[in-house]
Amino acid sequence: GLTLNAVDGVVWHTQDTPENAEAFGKASNQHGERGYPQVRMVCLMELSSHLLRASVMDSYDVNEMRLAAKLADSAPDNSITLFDKGFYSLGLLHDWHNAGENRHWLTPLKKNTQYEVVCKLGKQD
């Protein structure tokens, strides 16, 4: 009875204009700015239909987790949302859970994560 959603991000290049460079920024290294202006976007997708529920965009240097936090109010109640391990932030996941009713999330464990088993539900749970 839960709606299945996922959150993920993408970065793409925009037309190389002064306006885009000012609005979105460019990647940089020790030699300065390089390439085309880049936009970072994070989307909330309903997985059974592949329809986007919401998306947010910002400049290249804005962290995906900060953008994902702006999507918390767009997630439906009675849902489970899948995040990849790049979104592992206790603040983000806690806020996501508390932004509505009966909201859950799943994310893969990072290597060397420390945890305590509260109860076992079955073999290989």
Are 46 and 5 in contact, with CB atoms under 8 Å apart?
A: yes
Instruction: Note the pLDDT of residue 21.
Output: 86
Instruction: Note the pLDDT of residue 58.
Output: 93
Task: Spell out the SS3 assignment of the chain.
Answer: CCEEEEEEEEEEECCCCHHHHHHHCEEEECCEEEEEEEEEEEEEEECCCCEEEEEEEEECCCCHHHHHHCCHHHCCCCEEEEECHHHCCHHHHHHHHHCCCCEEEECCCCCCCCCCCCCCCCCCC
Instruction: Note the pLDDT of residue 26.
Output: 81
Residue 111 located in a structural domain:
no
For 32-77, write each residue's pLDDT tens digit. 777 889 899 999 999 999 999 999 999 888 999 999 999 999 999 9
Which residue segment(s) compose the domain that 46 sits in?
A: 3-106
Chain centroid to Cα 114, Å, comes to 23
**Average pLDDT in the 79-104 region?**
93
**Average pLDDT in the 78-98 region?**
93
List, in sequence order, every residue forming a beta bridge with 18; answer none if it has no partner. Answer: none
Residue 118 located in a structural domain:
no
Instruction: Note the pLDDT of residue 35.
Output: 80
AA letter at 75:
A
- Tokens for 87, please give them: 């979104």
Instruction: Note the pLDDT of residue 29.
Output: 72
Residue 119 located in a structural domain:
no
**Average pLDDT in the 75-103 region?**
94
- Tokens for 10, please give them: 């993408």
pTM above 0.85, yes or no: no
Share of the chain above pLDDT 70, in %: 100
Q: How many domains does the chain have?
A: 1
Residue 38 located in a structural domain:
yes
Residue 117 located in a structural domain:
no
